[in-house]
Structure 1
Amino acid sequence: MKDQKGDILHHIIVCMVRYSVTMDDDLVEKIDKICGSLAMSRSEWLNDLCIKHLDGAPGSGVQAMVSAVIPCESGPGHNMIDYGAAYANFSIDVPEYFNFGYDVIDRWAERDRNKLALIWVDQHGNEKKYSFRDLKNLSNGAANILLKYGIKRGDRVMLMLPRIPEWWIFVIALIKLGAVFCPCPTMLTPSDIKYRIRAGKFRMVITDYENAAK
């Protein structure tokens, strides 16, 4: 039973990683055919798949399709021999208050204003470097813009940007404000976006000019 559950989780993980990150063209074509036959969006199909296998809730029978879409290869096995012992002995020091934007980015900016934090390179090899002080100032500016438009602690914000420095700038800004951000890939279709907005109940969507029309 453990091996069977491990195989199912492996199927789901490989499916989500290959779909969301590598975006194999052949895989996308197969997924689109499945979604078309079920009258579902990609996001709905993946959500249904995860609920079916992770929660044991009734799904639409898509588990049989996973093997056809993504072959599962047996891995080297689990690295946890005794879960009970690992659970009993596990501990983590969690501070009462912690904010990545203030306690990491801004703290490093105060300690060493020139310390390198981010290197970004575009497809043509053009390079940009950002220090922690740069990220502190830019994220503070972004946070002020968000505050101007009414974003506050606990608000949900959908972030759909390509792999550009502004992605990190807005992420840090949202963390500083205590907002809940949901990163989304730019290849989402209008129906995918509509589904996520309805499910996530977002107060704001941050994207670029190229994807704004969606």
Structure 2
Amino acid sequence: GRAVGIGCDVTDPAAVAAMSDRVVQAYGGLHVLVNNAGITRDDLLFKMPLPHWEAVLTTNLTSMFLCCQAAQQHMVAARYGRIVNLSSRSALGNRGQVNYAAAKAGVQGLTATLAIELGPYNVTVNAVAPGYVATAMTAATAQRVGSSPEEHQRMVAEHTPLRRVAQPTEIASVIAFLASDDASYVSGQTLYVNGGAR
């Protein structure tokens, strides 16, 4: 296959539009969009500064709106498209993450609404909501709370029915399914990938 790397600030509407147009120029169309940009700025509500609230909402939710808006014009014209948005188990609430939880819950509302709006054009829109995944971001969270990544993962695994945390490839395989024609009648769904945790 071929790939092209494009640097883009996904919170900048002009940059997002340019990225979308460049993909279409390079490949003759835009068929799949995976919205996976995300940051954390964790703190308890009473201590959270407004810039941390705004940064997380802008990066984790507004960027998806912008990317979906830019991509949909090409997908609607082609009458085909697959959009997969990354939410999180934190959308159900997570102490110290009022900004992140709000953004990830917003992703689910955005996903359900876009599935309704874009469905008549054969564009499916779904979300994946991972639980704890062994990534650099969760390792940084562990260090911030005074733990090692390994200790933090063990603690989370004890409360997960599968008794382990996820690896990035396990989330990627679910995204690949939702982006494929095998999932052509799946739309408007949020699929939790969290090892059975409640």
TM tier relative to shorter chain: under 0.3
**Larger RCO, structure (CA 8 Å, separation 6 or more):** 2
TM-score normalised by L of structure 2: 0.27
Give the TM-score, by structure 1 length. 0.26
* Pair member with larger Rg: 1
